[in-house]
Structure 1
Amino acid sequence: MNFIKVRSTSIRLHSTGDPSAPPVVLLHGIGRSLEDWSPQHSRFESDYRVISIDMPGFGLSGRMPETTTLPVLADAVWATLDALGETRPVHLMGNSLGGAVSMTMLAAAPDRVATLTLVNSAGFGREVTMALRILALPGLGKQMLRHIDRHTAPRVERTLFADRALVTPERVEMAIRIARQPDFAPVYLEIARALGGFRGIAAPWRTELLASVTPHVKPTMIVWGDRDAILPSHHLTAARTAFPHAQSHLFPRTGHMPQIERPDEFAALIHPMLASVPA
């Protein structure tokens, strides 16, 4: 893992593979970290330069000075790639919030995107787990985020996976470490409230984002886990409507992170799409 300075902010990233190979960029969800993509590095690094990033204010990265929004996160990822000297079109993959950030990046700089992979992505429906809705309540959200510990963190992790065996001590410890970062709670609440509230994910930003991104047709894969307890799998239907040219897949017996629960199947599904794009 490395840290680089991006506009005076310390950004944590993990880069593997040949730096001259086509770049793959992996983005995590809200409150998460680049560890959510760890299983995919070994499955892509023989053919690609694989870059996973702790987005600003999440994982172990510092925050940007502005209030955290999708455009701020998207711009920060582009700036991180610039700081790495990576200006070629990238294969973008985003999980949950990372999917919405990936779509925002595509809308802002379509020439810099080679392919788009959306994994249980935010942006396709109002429904979201009640835990995230409660976080939008004044005062209560901050209190909840300050009490992620060895009692609460395992419960949070269990909501992410259909296979509870994946709630490992290492994942629990990382969740606690992330929650102790000084920027974690403020950034989490800023982006959560920008995207919705107690009634769910707000429609205006979703409508605006999809309108801005769908004219930029790129090879696209949309995947979901059928037992997602965070963003329900029927959002995949809306995603297929928004991206009629996209390939899609519903993983059985899988939760919010197919890239972890079905690592081999996930990689096998994505590889052909990436290989179809000239280097």
Structure 2
Amino acid sequence: MNVPHWIEVDGRRTRVRVAGDPDRPPILLLHGIGRSLEDWASQFRLLAASHRVIALDIPGFGFSARLREPSSLEVFAHGVARTLDALGENRPVHLVGNSLGGAVAMRLLVAAPERVASLTLVDSAGFGSEVTPLLRLLAVPGLGRLVAAHTTRAGARMLERTIYADPALATEARIEHALAIAEQPDPGSVTYEIARALATWRGVRSRWRSELLAAVAGHPRPTLLMWGDRDRVLPSHQLCAASHLIPHARTHLFAGIGHAPQMECPNEFAELVTEFVGSLTEAGTQRG
């Protein structure tokens, strides 16, 4: 069903979108903090011709209900895995994660390596301490909770404009969507919890990053690292750090693009993902 809809996952309402031939190789798309599966809207048209494409609102974000446990990468990865189970997708998936979604993708690899065929990490969390002050503010005790729970139109507009190199992409429709998410019962508390778990007002914590990347190194998978050179959320020099930490990875730097290249240059993004995943599928067929 190529429209967003809800399914039950362990009794919890979860919003998903699925498109493409179910017999094609599966691609799973994971969004960033405070976002939703709409961040991948243009990719469904471009990727579904050759793949089964799955996106979901990560538990507690978008319009999906949260899990009972305090929010963490482990909790998010568990929710993602259980959503795949509910969809009947038991094959190894090609994970594509943007921002926080990249860290969730890596955590899913560590927790269930048999479920992951490859990683595509897009302006991904986990490779440096620097992050936009807007997100560092969320990690401040007390104040962060207040900010996360009270999204204003001005605040939603500011965050949308931070994401893109081209401010025209921060459309009124996208701002309205952000405000609709903010009205849901869970995103405020979940955003605050994960911001506090992963960062301080100084920046992204180093301990979880080093522990996660050490664990990922124990489960090497074909990896594509992509970044926008005008990213104002996680600066693009973190791509260099990422390429040193995952030395076998392919890399690509988008010129004139911000934090979400899947939205800002969708055609180029889809071509890179399709070529990357296709090369792995072809190699697997030749080995077979």
- What TM-score do you get using the length of structure 2 for normalisation? 0.95
User: Does the CA contact (< 8 Å) of 2:149 and 2:189 recur in 1?
Assistant: no
Q: Report the count of equivalent residues.
A: 279
* Partner Cα distance (1:67, 1:145) in 2: 16
Report whether the alignment pairs 1:171 with 2:174.
Answer: yes
| Distance in 2, Cα, partners of 1:242 & 1:110 | 19
Query: Aligned partners of 1:269 and 1:103: how far apart in 2?
Result: 20
Match of 2:227 in 1: 224
Asked whether the equivalents of residues 148 and 189 of structure 2 are also in contact (C-alpha less than 8 Å), the reply is: no
CA–CA distance in 2 between the matches of 1:168 and 1:42? Answer: 21
Which residue of the partner structure matches residue 165 of structure 2? 162
In structure 2, the residue matched to 1:92 is: 95
Name 1:242's counterpart in structure 2: 245
Post-superposition Cα deviations, 1:17-56, rounded to whole Å, max 9, x if no partner, equal 1122111100000000000011111111011110011000
Unaligned stretches of 5+ residues in structure 1: none
**1:75 Cα deviation after fit:** 0.8
| Contact kept? 2:140, 2:196, Cα under 8 Å | no
Is contact 2:227–2:261 with CA below 8 Å preserved after alignment? Answer: yes
Counterpart position of 2:8? 5
**SS of 2:15's equivalent?**
strand
Alignment-derived partner of residue 262 in structure 1: 265
Could you tell me which of 209, 212, 219 is aligned with 2:212?
209
> In the alignment, is residue 21 of structure 1 matched against residue 24 of structure 2?
yes
Match of 1:49 in 2: 52
Alignment correspondent of 1:63? 66
**Residue 193 (str. 1) matches residue 193 (str. 2):** no
Q: Runs of 5+ in structure 2 lacking a partner? A: none
- State whether residues 30 and 37 of structure 2, in contact with CA within 8 Å, keep that contact through their aligned partners in structure 1: yes
In 1, Cα distance between the equivalents of 2:124 and 2:215? 16
Match of 1:143 among 146, 170, 186: 146
**What are the superposed Cα offsets for residues 140-192 of structure 1, whole Å, 9 maximum, x if unpaired?**
11222233232221111000000111111111011001111111111001111
How far did residue 106 of structure 1 move? 0.8
The correspondence of residues 106-117 of structure 1 with structure 2, limited to 5 A, is 106-117=109-120
Runs of 4+ in 1 over 4 A off after TM superposition: none
Query: CA–CA distance in 2 between the matches of 1:112 and 1:134?
Result: 35
Residue type of the alignment partner of 1:268: E
TM-score (norm 1): 0.98
> Within 1, Cα distance between the matches of 2:152 and 2:136?
20
Q: Secondary structure at the match of 2:163?
A: coil
Q: CA RMSD in A?
A: 1.0
Q: What is the rounded CA distance, in whole Å, between the counterparts of 1:148 and 1:49 in structure 2?
A: 35
Counterparts of 2:239 and 2:276 in 1: how far apart (Å)? 19
Task: Give the letter for the 1:227 counterpart.
Answer: R
Please give the secondary structure, in 2, of the residue aligned with 1:152: helix
The structure with more helix, counted as a fraction of residues: 2
Residue aligned with 2:253, SS:
strand
Whole-Å Cα distance in 2 between the matches of residues 146 and 83 of structure 1? 30
How far off its partner does 1:262 sit?
Answer: 0.9
Provide Cα deviations, 1:169-220, integer angstroms capped at 9, x if missing partner.
1110110011111111110011111101111100110000000001222111
